[in-house]
Structure 1
Amino acid sequence: MSKLDPYAALRIKEFNIFLFVRFLLVFGWSMQFIVIEWQVYSITKDPLSLGIIGLMEIIPAFSMALFAGHIVDQKEKRNLLALCTAAFSLISLGLFLLTSESVVGHWSTNAVLYSIYGLVFFGGFLRSFFGPTIFSLVALLVPKKIYPNAATWSTSTWKTASVSGALSAGFLISWIGVDNTLCLVFILVLLSLACTFLIKKKPILNKKIGEPVRESLKAGVQFVFQNKAILGVLTLDMIAVLFGGTVAILSVFAQDVLEVGPEGFGLLNASISMGSIVTMFLTTYIPINKNTGKKMLISVFIFGLSIIAFGLSSIFWVSLLALFISGAADGISMVIRQTILQLKTPDDMRGRVSSVNSMFVGSSNELGAFESGLAAKLIGPVAAVVFGGTMTLITVVGTGIANPILLDLDLTKEIEDYEKEE
């Protein structure tokens, strides 16, 4: 198999099944997120309520992350993914019922709102297991020599599902209503659950089964903090996501700033992911192994600039372009981050390292959503977005100065070593 083969990972049947399962899950989750954001803001007309959604998810996701990583490293991955998916279906079913006429017509607004927050909280708990499980399973489906290619396709699939889910949600809200859209999400999750069982059970590579939780968690955290490349890339992405959480208040821009309705709301969300998809597919042909650290810093810097441009724009197509560029830059940084993690993480620690990653980056999405919602309420949505983009630029410059190991990071030798493996 040629080392330049952009379809290397796609030649493995189980990896294709995995990609299909992940597409269905992310497509459904993306639709669900957009619909709930729209519904909550429509109910409250308060941008802070959007921030509370992020807060409700980050509390369990962050607090459970390390423990979830320990569990993932100790358990069989295919069945764990199936269990997480089954639990996700219950959340989707609950949200569908909460937006149905039988509930909306008989429950108070606060009762519906607080119930939505409760299910989002349960989703945050569940998400702490999803990330490490998926990250660990990828490494069991493909040989090490094509980890970078598999990471690119996995991330591209995630973003493709995000863009199509976001775009579909905006139109489906208008066409079939909030409740029917969430019913569709429930059906998609059930389909993904059925397809999960087409993947065979995988061996548990952790040689320390039964290791005390405290020692296990300590080892995972120590590994991340001792590896300057991993620590640097996680810290950079964490701050960028924290202050660049524009997505959380897009419904405010769609309804009150740009006044483009649910269809425009869907396009705004989709434009971000479209940019990511384009660049991530390009990285399957254009290697990111040379000057990896510099490329990471440049991509996040461009992300910050585009966020500022979006905040200052009052023209719909300009806003779409700015978000597209932000997604393109974010796509590059995500591929680089996932490649670094896959190449530099030992097999028996993937769950715990992925959990630390979720604490740094994943939880920052929700904390960033809360920050964006709070800032939008205090200083207005435009100022909030410009402030976030500015903080991202400052972070990139600071990281480049403070972490020369990340600045000089190059993965050429490591990737070549993996490609030589039989």
Structure 2
Amino acid sequence: MAAASRVSTGLRFVYGKRAWLGALHLLIAPWWALLTAFATVAGLVGSLVTLPLVLLGVPLFVLTGDVLISAARSESTWFRRVFGVHIRISPRTVPTGTSLLGDARSLLTDSGFWQLAAYNVLRLPLALLTLLAPLLVLALGGYLVREPLRMMFVEGALPELAFLATPPKIAINGPLCILLGLTLVLGSPLLWRVFSNVHIGLAQLLLRGSKMHELTERVGELEVSRAATVDSVEAERRRIERDLHDGAQQRLVSLAMTLGRARSKKDNDPDGASALLEQAHNEAKEAITELRDLVRGLHPPVLADRGLDAALSGLAARSPVPVTVRYDVSERPPRTIEAIAYFMAAEALTNIARHADASKVVVGVERSGVALRITVRDNGSGGAFVRPGHGLAGLADRASGVDGTLTVHSPVGGPTTLTMELPCES
């Protein structure tokens, strides 16, 4: 049983989807490499030749930089969608827009730009080599199979197959020749995988900018996420103020007025005062319930005491839509991550109950490497998307504030899947 499983795994490795995607990439790569290499050489040489004509040489150089950076980002998208490999393209020098001379000077002093130019030049011979080598292997394998069989059917024998008629003579026995040919043909998908990985390795080596570029990009991302987090917290503060003002505060005002009326009637109308006290008692209980719900929405005590699993179970029990919780995390996450995960699940369940017209929901929590993944799936009507100022945008901002992500997949007609990944270092 174990041997059969290993054989099946090996066959999937050699002949699986990844190998055929590698073959597709090897077929397309030379044409794309030829185009980008031509753009690189023509742009740089043209800029140098026309440099005395500043009005022509400088804009051509800046245009070449823009084209190469756009091509690199397109290639990064290709690697991500085809091979699932994320190659982080550094933004490199962002044109200031103040002057072409300033933009050209920025590109000239940008090591990442010259890495990109070198990548486009080096990739062309690599793409040609990695396309021709598998084709030659396939051709040789086909020849080693076809020629002995032809000799057998034409000459009635299966002699040795001679590769060189003059010394040093190289000859291979017919059956061994067929076996070798079949090995080359059937093993060629493995070569496709290897060569496509070479392309990925070269891209990872040269498409990424220098450490300074990566740090600059990271600082920019943190500034954006910090601003989004501040906006999200401010929106949450306004929501809490609104809920307190429109909910609990109004009930407490009504409670005070009812108690005042009861006090004024306690001597002249004891029965009326008793009825008002009963009404005040009910209003006090409703105010307490609203305050408890408000506090639970912020940070429920059960979350701090017993963790995310128990808090999600409490959410599921109170949800008007049937909810199944699947919690598969052995070690408790950090408290901040737990709070964000709980808020995401609570917001999602609230939206589902109000808008999704769903009959069941599944909430899943699991560890995926160093990330905590929370998924909320429902069988509702779908059509959800992130809009600025709405609940899902607030969730995305909360996730980005801790370097996490929120993904929404909600085609019209459903189902809807919200996936939040939060960093969860142990």
Give the number of the structure with larger relative contact order, counting CA–CA contacts within 8 Å between residues 6 or more apart: 1
- TM interval, shorter chain, is under 0.3
> What's the TM-score, normalizing by structure 1?
0.27
TM-score (norm 2): 0.26
Q: Identify the structure with the greater strand proportion.
A: 2
Q: Which has the larger share of helix?
A: 1
